[in-house]
Homo-oligomer: A and B are copies of this chain.
Amino acid sequence: MTTETQTDLPAYCRSLAEQAQAASHALASTPGDVRDAALRRIADAIADAGDELIAANALDLEAGRAAGLSDAMLDRLTIDAARVGKIAASVRQIADQSDPVGAVLEGRVLPNGIKLEKVRVPIGVILIIFESRPNVTSDAAALCLKSGNAVILRGGKEAIHSNTALAGCIKRGLEESGIDPNAVALVETPDRAAVGELLRMEGVIDLCIPRGGESLIRAVVEQAHIPVIKHYTGNCHTYVDAHCDGAMAVQLCVNAKVQRTGVCNATETILLHHRCGVIEDVISALVQVGVEVRACDKTRKLFDGLKPATEDDYAAEFLDKIVAIKTVDTLDEAIEHINRYGSKHTDAIVSNDLAAVKRFVQAVDTANAMVNCSTRFSDGGEYGLGAEIGISTDKLHARGPMGAADLCTYKWVAYGNGQTRT
């Protein structure tokens, strides 16, 4: 952006958003095959620009090293030839998904003869705020285009050169396809105030999806006058009921905790019914695979050498080989614990008791209730939703894993032949 726009941030942001809105109006009637062809051209443009992307990324890596970013952060930031291929392949996969736009979600003929349809349509303009991974630039842009939306991308300043180079490829792909390149806008100023400006642009930007750490997301919610869909954390539970398959319970607890610890659908607290029969087996299995167990007093009386669990542990998203364990007297105590400490993300029950399963599924306030399977399955890919734009622990509009269809709203369309109201 030029010096002129930097000195007038509100005007810059408004212009970016209004251009995106104009592009979104055109996209709303762009057929699915045209949007898919554009996605394939974008994938080609990314694949063809490997050297350019790697060179731009080198500038970010150099700045990152100078700023003292950790090795893990630098790894997330890195684009090499293999990753260029993966980024392009991911866009092609999104092109191959079925078109969510235009589906008739409901329909009926009213008594007065009007044919009423509820039709899925794009939301309009979506603002995605994200941190350091540059592949979010292309994935988010691709999912928004797939669903007929314009998108405004605000990435982390650590990845600015990489994101700008990727956005360039995207704009080339759009231009070659006859789609207004303003449909994908990258916020090019590092000024943090731009986010605040955009979050107040009610009537122009329809939705914000922030992706990143809890502090980023809280800052977005604090400032937003536009709707935000988000998840702060994943404090997921596995509850082992009195009536269960003990061997299954042990396997599910271990899988849910350790199969991948750094992800939001990993189990962080295990609740064990005092008569489940496998309290020691579950704990032994976890300790054997190197998990640090922090337990309630009741559990510690049954199993020596465990650290005590604090209130903070019950509320924690460890994202590590640490688990909180609590022995409960009843199913209802487990449900209350989850509704108190959980993050409404994913919560599992291991039980063969139909009434207990029914009660757990109804009473636990969660986006994903898992019965006799690992919490790790709550995932857009596993659910068959295709590529995921994020996970919602909100209750409005979309809940749980969000695919392209969740970037759509609906409109009612009424077809009459002259009906007037009396």
Contacts and interface: CB of A to CB of B under 8 A. Distances in A.
A215 interface: no
A245 B418 contact: yes
B123 A395 contact: yes
Contacts of A202: 221
B412 A374 contact: no
Given A25-B339, A400-B411, 11 more contacts: A110-B383, A116-B384, A121-B362, A202-B221, A222-B225, A227-B396, A252-B418, A370-B413, A373-B418, A376-B420, A378-B412
A291 interface: no
Nearest to A255: B420
A412 B367 CA distance: 6
Interface string A198-209: 000010001100
Interface in A249-276: 251-252, 255, 259-260
A372 B420 contact: no
A419 interface: yes
Interface in A230-254: 245, 248, 251-252
13 contacts: A25-B339, A28-B363, A29-B362, A29-B363, A251-B420, A260-B421, A370-B416, A372-B418, A372-B419, A377-B421, A378-B412, A397-B397, A400-B412
A363 B26 CA distance: 7
Contacts of A207: 395-396
A288 interface: no
A372 to B, nearest CB: 5
Given A225-B222, A383-B110, A409 B414 contact: no
Q: What are the 10 A-B residue pairs with the smallest beta carbon separation, nearest first? A: A373-B416, A255-B420, A29-B362, A376-B421, A397-B397, A373-B419, A395-B409, A248-B418, A396-B397, A227-B396
A259 to B, nearest CB: 5
A114 interface: yes
Interface in A391-417: 394-397, 399-401, 409-417
B419 A374 contact: yes
A123 B418 CA distance: 38
Contact of A384 (B108, B251, B373, B417): B108
Contacts of A371: 413-416
A361 interface: yes
Given A378-B412, A397-B396, A421-B255, A227 B227 contact: yes
Contact of A28 (B25, B245, B362, B396): B362
A369 interface: yes
A422 interface: yes
A112 to B, nearest CB: 8
A248 B394 CA distance: 46
Interface in A353-377: 359, 361-363, 365-374, 376-377
In this complex, the member of A225, A383, A412 whose beta carbon has the largest number of chain B beta carbons within 10 angstroms is: A412
